[in-house]
Structure 1
Amino acid sequence: MWVNLGVILLQFLSGSIMYSYIIARILKVDLSKIRDGNPGASNLWRAVGWKYGILALFLDYLKGALPLAIFVSLGIVKDNFVISLAALSGVLGHAFSPILRFKGGKAVAVSFGAWSVLTKWEAPMLLGTIFTIFTIIKPKGTTVQEDAFRVILGYLFLLPYIIYKSFHGDFHLLIFYDGNFAVILYKHYKDLWGYLRGQS
Structure 2
Amino acid sequence: MWVNLLVILLQFLSGSIMYSYIIARIMKVNLSKIRDGNPGASNLWRALGWKYGVLALLLDYLKGVFPLAIFISLGIVKDNLIIALSALSGVMGHAFSPMLGFKGGKAVAVSFGAWSVLTKWEAPTILGTVFTIFTLIRPKGTTVGEDAYRVFLGYIFLLPYVLYKIFLSGFKDLHLLLFYIGNFAIILYKHYKDLWGYFRERESNKL
Q: Is 1:191 equivalent to 2:189 in the alignment?
A: no
Deviation at 1:176, TM superposition (A): 0.2
| SS of structure 2 residue aligned to 1:91 | helix
Residue 116 of structure 1, CA deviation:
0.2
Query: C-alpha deviations, 1:78-98, integer Å up to 9, x for none?
Result: 000000000000000000000
TM-score after normalising by structure 2: 0.95
Match of 2:121 in 1: 121
Give the deviation of 1:138 after TM superposition. Answer: 0.6
Distance 1:40 1:71 in 2: 27
- Partner of residue 41, structure 2: 41
2:97 aligns with 97
Unaligned runs of 5+ in 1: none
2:143 paired residue number? 143
> What's 2:177 paired with?
174
How many matched pairs?
200
Deviations 1:79-126, CA, capped at 9 Å, x for gaps: 000000000000000000000000000000000000000000000000
What are the ranges of 5 or more consecutive residues in structure 2 without an aligned counterpart?
A: none
| Alignment partners' CA distance in 1, 2:139 and 2:155 | 21
Matches within 5 A, 1:54-65: 54-65=54-65
Q: Give RMSD over aligned pairs.
A: 1.0
**1:107 counterpart = 2:110:** no
How many Å separate the matches in 2 of 1:139 and 1:4? Answer: 46
Q: Displacement, 1:20?
A: 0.1
Aligned residue in 1 for 2:3: 3
User: What amino acid sits opposite 1:12 in the alignment?
Assistant: F
Stretch deviating more after TM superposition (134-143 or 14-23) = 134-143
Alignment partner, residue 22 of structure 1: 22
Give the corresponding residue for 1:76: 76
Quick check: which has more Rg, 1 or 2? Answer: 2
Partner letter of residue 178 of structure 1? I
SS at 1:197's partner residue?
helix
State the distance in 1 between where 2:28 and 2:80 align.
42
1:75 & 1:125 partners in 2: Cα distance? 26
